[in-house]
Structures are given as C-alpha cells and as structure tokens.
Amino acid sequence: MNVKKIVFGATALMVMASCGKQANSGGDKDEPQPYKTQVLAEQDAQLETIYPVTIKGKEDIEIRPRIDGFIDAIYVDEGSVVKKGQSLFLINSPSATQALTTAKASVESAQAQVNTAQVNVDRIKPLAEKGIVSYTQLNTYENALLSAKASLAQAKAQLANAQATVSWTQVASPVDGVVGAINYRLGSLVSSSNVLTTVANTSNVFAYFSLNEKALTEFLGTLEGNTQAEKIKNAPEITLILADGTTYEEKGKLETITGVINITTGTANFRAEFPNKLGHLRSGTSGKISIPRTLHNVFVIPQAATFSQQDKILVYKVQGDSVIQKTISAHGMPDGKSFAVTDGLVSGDKIVSSGVATLSNGKKIKAE
C-alpha cells in the first residue's frame, strides 16, 4: 500500500513538471523576437537607368542609280571601306549613250549653221557699207547669225545634260563609310526606285532610344539648366552596353531630344553620339545605354527591408516596441540589392532591415 502511494506521487510530480514546461514554452512564443534594424540618415545615391538602343551610323546613305539600266560592274564588296567619290557600280544605259550621241550631232549641226551665217554676214557687210546692197539685207543676215548662235548654245546645253546623264552610269559613294548589303548583282535591271546598297559613315555612331512622358519629366528634372538645350548640355556622359553584355570603351554624349511626344507610343525620342574610331560599332546593331543619375538627400536601404503590396513598396518602421507599415517611394540601385528612398521616411527613422516576411502591422519586436 505504501509502495502504491509512492508510485502515484512520483507520477503526479512528473505530470505537473510536464505541464509546467508546456506553460513556459507557450510563454516564450508570446515574447517579442529580435530583429535587425537600421537608423536612417540622408546621403547621396548614384543611380543608373538602362534603356534599349538602336545604333546607326552618323550617315546611313541609300545608294540608288539616277538612271535606268543594267548593272555592268560592281567594284566593291559588302563590308568594304570606301571613300567619298569612289565608284561602286557601273550602269549600262543604252538610252543615255544614244542621247549623248544625238547631242553631239546637234552641236556639230548648230556649229555649221553658225559658220554659214557668219560667212553670209562677212560677205554682205562690205557691200552694205558701199551701198551696193541695203542695210535691211545685212540686218537679215545678222539676225540669222544670232539665231544660229542661240541654236548652238541650246545644243551645247543639251550636250552637257547628256554628258551628265552618262556620268550617272558610274554610281559613286557620296560619303566615306562602310558598304552594306549589295541587293542587286551583275545583269540586274535597276532604276532610281531600287536601293543598290547603303554606305554607313560610322566614324561616329548615333544611339537612338525613347522615354515615356513620366520618365522624360523625371530625367529632365535631374539635369541643371532652364531650357532643354541647357539641360542636354549638362547631361552626364552615357555608357553603352553591347549586345554581348560588354561595356563599350568610349563614353557617349546626349545630343538631342525630340520636342514632340509621339501620340501613338507616348514617348519622346533621344539621340546620343558615340565615337567609333576603331570601327567596333556597326550600323543596325542593338544594345543598351546606362545613364547615371545622382539623387541628393535620400535614404539607402536594403531591398530585404521592403515588401510589396498592391504595386506599392512598404517597410516596417519601428515605433516604440512595435512596428507599423510605411509606404515609400524608392528607386533601385545599380547593385540590385538596395533602394534609394525619396519619400515616406524622414531622417532618424528606424526600420526593420531583415526578416520582414514574419512581421505584421503592430507586432511587438525586440530591436537590435
């Protein structure tokens, strides 16, 4: 009987001890948990905005024949470097050749008429001076001479036009540059509506990109100056990122911004210029540009301190021994891990810097 009492008493003690541990464990869950925090202080932040671009030569010239005919010769190949005035194609134009032959014959005929009229004037003039013939007859011959000379001048003008037309059979490059794709080959019938090739002057290249209306306003707001021209002049140097992800060695400069927003796309077009002395950039290629931008008096916080809710970015601000949600305006930093906060917080605020997924509005924490 005594043994049974002892066993029963020991069992009761074990049950009470177990309940006490469970009670203590439940109490631990209610205690505030530690979270890392950050006290905010204003600083400057360097941002980079990336835009896709299309690269074109400073001069992309379409080469078209000025006369109809067949391609008789092609003097260059695709990718050739050519100089201004260098022949690219030879066009066989029978009509131009025939027009030149006719013009030459017309000049010779007109010259013969002038010679004949001059002989008549020289013959009649002494007779008129001696009174053998009338001055009226002399005037008639002199007028015939003037008419012959006018016909000769007209024939020479037609010859000059014919010679110019024949010179068009030699299709030359209007600029220094690089030859693009050759669209027609020997024997092809071509006219002024056909683009034989393009010649791109790529000593400098243009990078074209666009910004929507909101981004344009924000971008211009970061530049010094009162007018658009002054802002463009004060724009920072631009970095070009090539299609393979490498950074182009030369920096570019913003040149122009269109003064009208495209109604269809809602964007404004920009043009930046990059030097291309080594010819690494080709017309028609694509890439991205990075425009640096400095924000003054902002707060730099880790992206891990934020969370999204209905397209808004929020943080947990420490208030006493608990946290409250705060909506902020923020811009992504180039490192991809931080935000530059421009609105929603003030200097001296303390925010939770990590572990925000386990928090809720009004939750008590132990700030670290």
* One domain for residues 175 and 252: no
How far, in Å, CA of 281 to CA of 55, rounded? 8
How far, in Å, CA of 301 to CA of 351, rounded? 9
Which DSSP string corresponds to 12-75? HHHHHHHHHHHHHHHHHHTSPEEE-EEE---EEEEEEEEEEEEEEEEEEEEE--SS-EEEEEE-
Any idea what the CATH number is for the domain that residue 354 is in?
Answer: 2.40.420.20
In a domain, residue 11? The reply is no
pLDDT of the residue at 14:
47
* One domain for residues 163 and 260: no
* One domain for residues 80 and 189: yes
For the question of whether the overall pTM of this predicted structure is more than 0.85, the answer is: no
How far, in Å, CA of 198 to CA of 271, rounded? 21
The dihedral of CA 124, 128, 133, 137: what is its sign?
positive
Q: Which helix (H) or strand (E) is 259 found in, with range?
A: none
* One domain for residues 154 and 225: no
In a domain, residue 111? The reply is yes
Any idea what the CATH number is for the domain that residue 175 is in?
Answer: 2.40.50.100
Q: Domain count of the chain?
A: 4
Residue type, 132: I
Any idea what the CATH number is for the domain that residue 208 is in?
Answer: 2.40.30.170
Last residue of one domain, picked from the residues 231, 265, 294: 294
Residues of the domain holding 39? 33-45+296-367
DSSP state of 358: G
Question: In the numeric block, which tokens belong to residue 195?
Answer: 């683009």
How far, in Å, CA of 87 to CA of 95, rounded? 21
In a domain, residue 231? The reply is yes
* Full pLDDT tens readout for the chain, 368 residues: 444 444 444 444 444 444 444 444 444 456 888 999 999 999 988 888 888 999 988 888 999 999 999 999 999 999 899 999 999 999 999 888 899 999 999 999 999 999 998 998 888 888 888 888 888 888 988 899 999 999 999 999 999 999 999 999 999 999 888 899 999 999 999 999 999 999 988 888 999 999 888 888 878 887 888 888 898 888 888 999 998 889 999 999 999 988 788 788 888 899 999 998 888 888 888 999 988 888 888 999 999 999 998 889 999 999 989 999 999 988 888 888 899 998 999 999 999 999 888 998 999 998 88
Cβ atoms within 10 A of the Cβ of 79, count? 11
In a domain, residue 1? The reply is no
Beta strands (DSSP E) in the chain are 33-35, 37-39, 43-63, 69-74, 81-82, 87-92, 170-172, 177-179, 189-190, 197-212, 239-242, 253-257, 267-275, 286-302, 306-309, 312-319, 322-332, 338-343, 350-352, 365-367
In a domain, residue 156? The reply is yes
